[in-house]
Structure formats: structure tokens, C-alpha cells
């Protein structure tokens, strides 16, 4: 027994030592108090800030072309501390720093010449690219350094801005952090069909690699406030922004893909012209490819269950089956209009498949897909698409009965 006891002590000590060392952390790491945490990044066409101009006038500088201005949003320990402890008017909870040049990696390293705190991208939430820049450069070029950077999380979200992207990283609301605000709005998708599923770095990289056309959420900025407004159309062949979908056209795409989590459909009663509002509780869509000889077509079957959330029709009885059928038909026609307009924009104006028709053909008809995938966007623009919409009202809200 003594022999057995003495043999276990070295093992116990060794395990304790390993545990102690693992809790002690990395000896070569930087303390969090010494870091500038990058949480947001905006890319714009080159426009030097006043501070940059003054620094360049006084400094020796380095060889570069002024092509792109990158704006980095940081949370620093000093900012967090001053925001928490101040007794007067609240200050900003973030710091924005801009750098102009032609190499994105070199630009971020230039910031190290202006701050004693190392920059880290582990907590980067959003990257916003201006529409002007997205039309001029391939997304792969603009995001190449980010995609190669092991620090930056692949879940970081990508947006396209109308106007200067840096404006989306500004706010006038005390205590609000713009990068977190943008990431948070994405979570409201359960309330509207006008928000795309999150488009992360890894998803963008996948789309670029596959040569697929796709959508990225557009964001507007006015006087420190932002709004999600439609989507940017990214062409699969060029990897550049080729156009936009407005808010209603984006709704149409959401119905086609069936990826909506919630929202409303506003239609008008044919007889009275009054509003009827249908609230989505669930939606689903199936895209079915049809191949006959060399002819390709698609059937899109859209179904949804929801509630009558608003009724302006004076004679409308919310519990009357005849009225409910009329409300369903009215809402169905509105969805058909949204879907039809979205398809027209995709097929006739932009000639790009951003709703996944090609992907369904690839899955269900792989041999056919191999023949057409090279010029799929062009083929898609000439492909007949039939769609059917079926909405069912199963709830009338807290109010019912005939209106007086």
C-alpha cells in the first residue's frame, strides 16, 4: 500500500503543475488593458482626413497611392473607463481612426505609428464597403487581407453602404457603439422580410470561390442614424456590385427563397380600397427545376401561415370565412406582385441569379448543371419561371367580429 501511495505523488504533482501553468496564461501575450479592440471597419474611396493631411505635411511619409480610405472603429480601455466613470455629459464609447493608402495591411500597420496600443481584430463585428468602391473593385480584392488574417473571425458581417461607409460607423446617441448597432439590426429579421440572412466573411468567400451571384445587405446613413434599405447585387463573373434591389424587391427575393422569419404583407381590398395587413408566422418555398430535352424551367411554390393583424375594411368581419378568404387572396396577390417584380429585376435588368435557382438545378439535375453552369446567369435570364402563392390566415389577433 505504501509503495502504491508513493507512486501516485509524482503524478499528482505533475498534473497540478500543468494545471497551474495553463491557468497562468501565455507569457508572450499582451494584456487586454493594453489592446485596441477593433470592432468595425469601413472601406471608402480615398479621402484623407484633416488629421492625415496635417500628419503627412509634417512627416516624412512613405511611398503609396491614395486609392482607399479605411476607417477602423476601436474600443480602448481608456474610452471604456472614461465612459463608465464620467459624471458630466456622456462621451463616445468608441474611437474611429482613418488611414488612406493602397495596401490594406500596410494601412492598419500605419496605425501602430499613431497609437501605443496594438490593434487586434479578434472582436471585429462588421465590415462596411461603400457602393462606389464595390462597383470599382472586386470584393475578393477588398476582402483579401481580411480573409487571410487569422485574427479576424469568419463570422464577421459584410455590408454595402450608399454613400460613405465610414458614416455608418458614427452615431450621436450617447453610449451607442455603431458596429454593434449594425450587427444588432440583423437580429430583427424575425420582424421583417427586408433583412437578408447574415452575410458573413466565410459566406462571401464561398460565393466568390463558386462564382455565384449573390446579395449583400445595403445600409443607409443620415445624421448619425442608419437604416437597412434593400440589397446590393454582386455579379458572379465580375465579383463586383452590378446594381441594387430596393426594399420591396428584396421582399420578393425573401419570398422566393422562403428564408423569411417574419414580417407583414400590406394589401388593399379590391372593393373598398382599404388596407388589409397580413402578419407572417411562417413561410416556406420550394424551387423545383423542370428539364425537358434542352429546355429548363422552374416552378416556385410559396406557402405561408399567418394572422390578420390589421383590417381597415369597414364591413370586414374578422370571423367570417368569406371575408378571411378575400383577405387571403388580397395578400396573395401582393406577394405575387413582389415576387414578379423581383424576378423581372433579376432576369431582365441585371441578368443575375441571386435567389438560388442554379443551386437547386445543381442539386437535382447535376448533369444538366454541368452543361450550363459556365454561363448560368445568362441562361437564367431566359428561363421561364412559374410561381404559385398560398397564404393561410389562422389567427385574427385579439379583436374580431363585424366592424361598425
Residue 369: per-residue pLDDT = 96
pLDDT value at 93 more than 50: yes
Residue 260 has φ and ψ, to the nearest 5°, of: -75, 145
pLDDT digits (tens, 9 = 90+) for 239-256: 999 999 999 999 999 999
| Calpha distance 393→327 (Å, rounded) | 8
| Rounded distance between C-alpha atoms, residue 301 and residue 393, angstroms | 18
Report the relative pairing of strands 68-75 and 295-311 from DSSP bridges. Answer: unpaired
Per-residue pLDDT reduced to its tens digit, 9-37: 444 445 444 444 444 444 345 444 455 68
Cell of 200: 458573413
Identify the band that residue 80 occupies on the pLDDT scale cut at 50, 70 and 90.
Answer: low
Q: What is the pLDDT of residues 195-233, one digit of tens each?
A: 999 999 999 999 999 999 999 999 999 999 999 999 999
| 82, pLDDT greater than 70 | no
- Least confident stretch, 147-151, 379-383, 397-401: 397-401
Give how far the C-alpha of residue 27 lies from the chain's centroid of Cα atoms, to the nearest Å: 38
pTM, full prediction: 0.84
Percentage above 70 pLDDT, the chain: 83
Q: For residue 270, with 0-12 CB atoms within 10 Å meaning exposed, 13-18 middle and 19 or more buried, which class applies?
A: exposed
165-183: per-residue pLDDT in tens?
999 999 999 889 999 999 9
**Over residues 160-169, mean pLDDT:** 96
For the chain, give the mean pLDDT. Answer: 85
What's the pLDDT score for residue 398? Answer: 58
pLDDT in tens, 334-363: 999 999 999 999 999 999 999 999 999 999
pLDDT at 317 over 80: no
DSSP-derived pairing of the beta strands 36-45 and 119-120: parallel
C-alpha cell recorded at residue 137: 473593385
Amino acid at each position: 500500500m505504501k509503495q502504491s501511495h508513493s507512486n501516485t505523488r509524482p503524478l499528482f504533482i505533475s498534473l497540478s503543475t500543468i494545471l497551474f501553468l495553463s491557468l497562468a496564461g501565455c507569457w508572450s501575450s499582451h494584456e487586454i488593458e493594453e489592446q485596441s479592440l477593433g470592432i468595425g471597419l469601413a472601406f471608402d474611396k480615398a479621402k484623407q482626413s484633416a488629421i492625415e493631411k496635417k500628419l503627412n505635411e509634417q512627416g516624412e511619409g512613405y511611398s503609396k497611392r491614395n486609392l482607399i480610405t479605411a476607417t477602423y472603429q476601436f474600443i480602448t480601455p481608456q474610452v471604456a473607463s472614461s465612459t463608465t466613470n464620467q459624471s458630466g455629459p456622456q462621451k463616445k464609447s468608441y474611437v474611429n481612426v482613418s488611414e488612406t493608402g493602397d495596401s490594406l495591411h500596410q494601412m492598419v500597420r500605419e496605425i501602430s505609428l499613431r497609437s501605443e496600443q496594438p490593434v487586434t481584430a479578434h472582436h471585429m463585428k462588421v465590415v462596411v464597403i461603400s457602393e462606389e468602391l464595390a462597383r470599382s473593385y472586386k470584393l475578393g480584392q477588398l476582402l483579401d487581407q481580411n480573409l487571410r488574417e487569422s485574427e479576424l473571425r469568419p463570422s464577421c458581417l459584410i455590408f454595402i453602404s450608399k454613400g460613405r461607409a465610414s458614416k455608418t460607423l458614427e452615431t450621436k446617441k450617447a453610449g451607442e457603439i455603431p458596429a454593434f448597432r449594425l450587427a444588432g439590426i440583423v437580429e430583427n429579421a424575425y420582424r421583417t422580410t427586408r433583412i437578408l440572412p447574415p452575410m458573413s466573411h466565410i459566406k462571401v468567400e464561398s460565393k466568390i470561390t463558386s462564382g455565384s451571384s449573390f446579395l449583400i445587405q445595403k445600409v443607409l446613413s443620415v445624421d448619425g442614424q442608419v437604416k437597412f434599405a434593400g440589397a446590393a447585387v454582386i455579379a458572379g463573373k465580375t465579383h463586383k456590385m452590378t446594381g441594387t434591389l430596393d426594399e420591396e424587391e428584396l421582399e420578393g427575393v425573401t419570398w422566393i427563397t422562403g428564408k423569411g422569419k417574419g414580417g407583414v404583407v400590406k394589401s388593399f381590398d379590391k372593393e373598398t380600397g382599404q388596407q388589409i395587413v397580413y402578419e407572417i408566422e411562417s413561410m416556406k418555398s420550394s424551387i423545383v427545376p423542370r428539364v425537358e430535352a434542352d429546355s429548363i424551367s422552374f416552378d416556385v411554390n410559396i406557402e405561408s401561415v399567418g394572422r390578420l393583424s390589421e383590417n381597415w375594411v369597414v364591413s370586414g368581419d374578422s370571423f367570417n370565412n368569406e371575408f378571411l378568404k378575400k383577405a387571403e387572396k388580397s395578400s396573395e396577390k401582393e406577394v405575387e406582385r413582389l415576387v414578379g417584380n423581383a424576378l423581372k429585376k433579376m432576369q431582365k435588368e441585371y441578368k443575375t441569379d441571386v435567389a438560388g435557382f442554379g443551386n437547386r438545378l445543381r442539386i437535382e439535375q447535376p448533369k444538366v448543371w454541368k452543361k450550363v453552369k459556365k454561363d448560368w446567369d445568362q441562361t437564367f435570364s431566359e428561363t421561364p419561371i412559374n410561381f404559385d402563392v398560398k397564404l393561410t390566415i389562422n389567427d385574427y389577433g385579439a379583436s374580431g367580429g363585424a366592424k361598425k
